[in-house]
Structure 1
Amino acid sequence: MPHPEPTIFQALLQRRSVRKFTDQPVDTEHLRRILDAGRWAPSGLNNQPWRFLVIHKNDPRQESLAGLTKYAAIVRNAGALIALFLHKPAMYHEGKDHQAAGACIQNMLLAIHGLGLGGVWLGEIINQEEQVIQALDLNPDEYRIMAVIALGHPAHPGASSRRPLEELLLEAL
C-alpha cells in the first residue's frame, strides 16, 4: 500500500487563509465533513472538549459576530461560520485543552482546503469573549470561545510566506 505522506504534505503546504468568498452557499454535507474532521482531532485523555456552533449565511448572529471583531468584513462575507468553544465541564487541563482546540481548528482548516473551499481562523474575536457568548445566547459558565472559522467558496486564492527553517531552529539539524 502506498504511503499517504505526499497527499498530506501537499495539503499542509498548499493550504492558505482565504478571506474573501463568493456568494455560492456552503453545502451542508461539506459542513458535516468539516466538523467531523475537527471532531477527530487529538485531545488529552480523549476528552474532546470542543463544541461547535455553525452559523449559516444571513443568520442574524452573523452580523452580531461581525460587530465584535475588527475582521467584520470577513465575517459578513463568509458563506458560513464555525464558532469553536471549549465546553468547560469537559475540560481537565487549561493548556492541554487549548492545544486540543488548536488541533481541532487545524483539522477543520485542512478539511476546508481538501473540499476545495477556503477558510480563515479568526482568533482576535476571543478578546471580546463575554460579548460573543452573550450575542450567541450561550452560558458563560459552560463555554469558552476559542475561535471563529470563516469559510466559503474562495473568491481568490490565499497567499502566504514562511521564514526559512534555519531561522526557526534553536540548534542546527
Structure 2
Amino acid sequence: MSRIIEKIITRRSVRKYLKRGVDLNALLKALDAARWAPSAHNAQPWRYIIIQDPSVKKRLAENMAAAWRRDLRKDGYAEERIKKLTEESVNLFSSAPLILITCLTMEDMHRYVDKRRRTVEYLMAVQSVAASITNLLLALHALNLGASWFCAPLFCPSTVRRTLSIPEDVHPQALITVGYPDEAPQPPQRRNLNDVVFINKWGTRL
C-alpha cells in the first residue's frame, strides 16, 4: 500500500489529546500542505485562524455554546439535556491544545449578476475549502498530530465573526481541534465500494 493511501485509510477523528502544546513548525507544515489543495479558478478561497490563547478558546467555545443553547431550546430540548450538551461542547473546544477556524472568502471567485450562478460559485468555493481541510487533516495525521473537523461555525457564523473580528464578507466554515492524540479510535464502518460506485449510469453496479 502506498504511503499516501495508508494515511488516508488510517486517519481518524481524534477528540482526546495529551496535555502538551502543538509544535508550531509541524502545524505550519500541515497548513502549507492545505494550501496546495485544488480550488475552483485556483482562487484558493480558504483562510485559517490559529487559536492558541486559552482565553480566546474559552470565549469562542462559550459564545458558540450560547448560540447552540438558543437553538436547542427552539428544538424543545429539556434544560438538563441542554446544559449537558453545551457544557460538553465548551469543554471539548476549550480544552483542545489548539483550534483552527477555517473561513471562506469570495474575493477571488467569479462574480455573476444572477442568483443561480452566484449560488453555484459559492458552492464551488465551499468544495475548494473542503478540499483544503482534507489536505490539512491528512498532513496533521502524517505529522503524528490528531484532529477533528466540526461544522459548528456554520450554525452560528455571526457569533464566530464577532468573537474573532472576522469581516462580514468572510464566511466561517469549520472548527478543527488539533493536538497529540490521547486515544486511538477504532476504524469507522464504511459502505462497500459496490454501494457507492456506478458504471456509466446511476445504479449500474461494479
User: What TM-score do you get using the length of structure 2 for normalisation?
Assistant: 0.76
Contact 1:38 1:104 in 2 (8 A): yes
Equivalence for 1:140: 168
Deviations for 1:135-165, whole angstroms, at most 9, x for unmatched residues? Answer: 1011112x10110110101110123221222
Matches within 5 A, 1:94-133: 94-133=122-161
SS of residue in 1 equivalent to 2:2: helix
Contact 2:41 2:109 in 1 (8 A): no
SS of residue in 1 equivalent to 2:205: coil
Contact 1:21 1:154 in 2 (8 A): yes
SS of residue in 2 equivalent to 1:171: coil
Matched, 1:172 2:200: no
* Structure 2: distance between partners of 1:55 and 1:158: 25
Equivalence for 1:9: 5
Deviations for 1:69-97, whole angstroms, at most 9, x for unmatched residues? Answer: 55333212211111111123233321111
Identity rate, percent: 31
Q: Which amino acid aligns with 2:102?
A: L
Unpaired runs of 5+ residues, structure 1, are none
Contact 1:120 1:149 in 2 (8 A): yes
SS of residue in 2 equivalent to 1:42: coil
Q: Which amino acid aligns with 2:124?
A: K
Structure 1 or 2: more helix by fraction: 2
Equivalence for 2:60: 65
* Structure 2: distance between partners of 1:125 and 1:158: 24
Matches within 5 A, 1:15-26: 15-26=11-22
Equivalence for 2:30: 34
Q: Which amino acid aligns with 2:126?
A: H
Equivalence for 2:94: 76
Matched, 1:44 2:40: yes
How far does residue 65 in structure 1 lie from its aligned partner after superposition? Answer: 2.2
Structure with higher Rg: it is 2
Equivalence for 2:106: 88
Q: Aligned pair in 2 of structure 1 residues 64, 90: CA closer, same or farther (>3 Å)?
A: farther
Superposition RMSD in Å:
1.5
Matched, 1:157 2:174: no
Q: Which amino acid aligns with 1:156?
A: E
* Structure 1: distance between partners of 2:161 and 2:185: 30
Contact 1:51 1:84 in 2 (8 A): yes
Number of positions where the alignment pairs a residue of Structure 1 with one of Structure 2: 167
Unpaired runs of 5+ residues, structure 2, are 66-85, 111-120, 198-202
